Structure 1
Amino acid sequence: MSPARRAAVLGSPIGHSLSPVLHRAAYAELGLTDWQYDRFEVDEARLPGFIEGLDDSWAGLSLTMPLKRAVIPLLDGITDTAASVEAVNTVVLSPDGRRTGDNTDIPGMIAALRERGVEQVETAAVLGAGATASSALAALSRICTGPVTAYVRSEIRAREMRGWAERLGVRIRTAEWSAAPEALEAPLVIATTPAGATDALARAVPDRPGTLFDVLYEPWPTALAAAWSGRGGAVVGGLDLLVHQAVLQVEQMTGRAPAPLAAMRAAGEQALVAR
């Protein structure tokens, strides 16, 4: 009989995380009855000790804020994808003890868009300039053939986005947040802002909107997403991103592919309804 295997999501705060629901659904569908997936409240100060305390039953970790950059010095290596945005959301623990960091948010974004028929765009707009926005730029570096406009609230944020764009090879223009209504004319709009930040834009949705990717999943739908779909536009939500990046994590940690996307999404939808 094979030994029990473990994985978990770490972060602070962590109580809201849907990762246990998604990963456990995958294990059940794959028949991995000896696998368990938990959540742990871990901040930057506690992270080194937590990782050093892992034994060989551990297969992997999912990381959320504020650990995506703090973990990098604790690893033996990271993938090019993770290095491109200096952020790791996945750690795969090999039987030989090697710790490898990856970022599944970026290919998860691409997969979520592809699922809705968006494989390439000529231009795009990004709302916001946080950590998720840098992942959005990395995704756009692979699917956007023309310039990207980022709408931000400060010159500091604008400089940060220009820096990420230069690093990722993305042609970028930055604009003030007050001009954000014009963003909604782009064929692809990626909203990376906190809850409520885009609510005022709902009344500016054009008559024929393109595709909106709103990375929030709670509350859902956002006012912008509801207005967008009401005008007939395609909407990709935060749960889509969460599921697609989790699919890649499950495949890397378990070595089983494909991971059960439909079962994982259904479990996530059920968990959100129950909240």
Structure 2
Amino acid sequence: MPIPTAVAEPVTASYLAVWGDPIAHSKSPALHAAAYRVLGLDWEYGRRQVDAAAFAEALDGLDARWRGLSLTMPLKEEAFRAAASRDAHAELTGAVNTLLLGDAIAGYNTDVGGIVDALAEAGITETRSVRILGAGATAASALVAAADLGAESVEISARRPERAAGLIALGERIGISVEARPLDDVAAETDLTIATLPSGTVLPEGAASALAARGGALFDAAYAPWPSALAAAWGGATVVSGLGMLLHQAVRQIRIFHHGDPSTALPDEAAVVAAMRAVL
């Protein structure tokens, strides 16, 4: 009688994590855990401090139990290079904050959608003109978000306007007129200001009040501490905290991890979002 051959149990890809440096402050584990409880998923989501130099080796060290990764600074460009395929927002910005693992690694940028969704929640679904404060990595996502909202022109306000050359080129690719100015040179009024400056940034004297006077509604990607110095100076106009972006980019990540499509809603998504919002 032949000896039965052992059949290997299928591996369930149920491990996920957020990587970055620094990472101890990340709210992502709490957000994802809250969502997985509502969805009834037995997934584990942790955090790991990984810098850019260690990223490739760390990624190669993951086995078939791993479903996906969330990436924060300074790993979004590294993740872009690691992805075999990328969504349109990732291709435009050159940044990936979500990797869906498997036989071929797929990369996504959910920051763009996170900005759009956070603004929609505040009643802002379209705009003609946008001022973006800062010219770093998040500014590219802000520029693409502005395009998705229908903006025709974007002004980049930065300490070093020469750093905006890539954003000006991106504007040409997506059909938006982009110009760069120093932070203290506020030339015209705009419908919406998107601040991508690091938390705690101190603006030149008088710049915050000038920006507020001509800036329309404010979306400030910073959220700790809150209100930011910029938000506190904004007066009576609409002000949207970066917590909205954090929440909604995570919702889109969970859609990717759940069914591979950032634009298709989760089962009972309203309950999922409510649970995630409760842990912010």
Unaligned 5+ runs, structure 2? 1-9, 260-264
Deviation at residue 265 of structure 1 after TM alignment: 1.6
1:225-244 counterparts in 2 under 5 A?
A: 225-228=231-234, 231-244=235-248
Deviation at residue 76 of structure 1 after TM alignment: 1.8
User: Is 1:121 paired with 2:118?
Assistant: no
Distance in 2 (alpha carbons) for counterparts of 1:197 and 1:142: 27
Distance in 1 (alpha carbons) for counterparts of 2:236 and 2:215: 7
Counterpart contact for 2:190–2:214, Cα < 8 Å: no
Q: Rg bigger for which structure? A: 2
Equivalent in the alignment of 1:80:
88
Equivalent in the alignment of 2:51:
43
Counterpart contact for 2:22–2:49, Cα < 8 Å: yes
User: Is 1:16 paired with 2:25?
Assistant: yes
User: Is 1:69 paired with 2:77?
Assistant: yes
- What are the superposed Cα offsets for residues 26-65 of structure 1, whole Å, 9 maximum, x if unpaired? 1122222x21100011112221121112122211100011
Residue 198 of structure 2 aligns with an amino acid whose one-letter code is P
Counterpart contact for 2:21–2:50, Cα < 8 Å: yes
The TM-score with structure 2 as length reference comes to 0.86
Counterpart contact for 1:59–1:254, Cα < 8 Å: no
Equivalent in the alignment of 1:273:
none
Residue 24 of structure 1 aligns with an amino acid whose one-letter code is A
Distance in 2 (alpha carbons) for counterparts of 1:115 and 1:72: 29
- What are the superposed Cα offsets for residues 56-98 of structure 1, whole Å, 9 maximum, x if unpaired? 221110001111111233222111210111110000123xx22
Distance 1:206 1:75, change over 3 A: closer
Residue 85 of structure 2 aligns with an amino acid whose one-letter code is G
Deviation at residue 208 of structure 1 after TM alignment: 9.1
Unaligned 5+ runs, structure 1? 269-275
- What are the superposed Cα offsets for residues 100-135 of structure 1, whole Å, 9 maximum, x if unpaired? 000000111111111111111111111110001111
Query: Aligned to 1:70, what secondary structure does the other structure show?
Result: helix
Distance in 2 (alpha carbons) for counterparts of 1:122 and 1:3: 47
Q: 1:144 aligns with which of 150, 153, 157?
A: 150
Distance in 2 (alpha carbons) for counterparts of 1:110 and 1:126: 14
Counterpart contact for 1:209–1:232, Cα < 8 Å: no
Q: 1:251 aligns with which of 241, 255, 258?
A: 255
Counterpart contact for 2:161–2:181, Cα < 8 Å: no
Q: Could you tell me the percent identity over the aligned residues?
A: 43
Equivalent in the alignment of 1:271:
none
Equivalent in the alignment of 2:193:
189
The TM-score with structure 1 as length reference comes to 0.87
CA RMSD of aligned residues (A): 2.2
Distance in 1 (alpha carbons) for counterparts of 2:214 and 2:131: 16
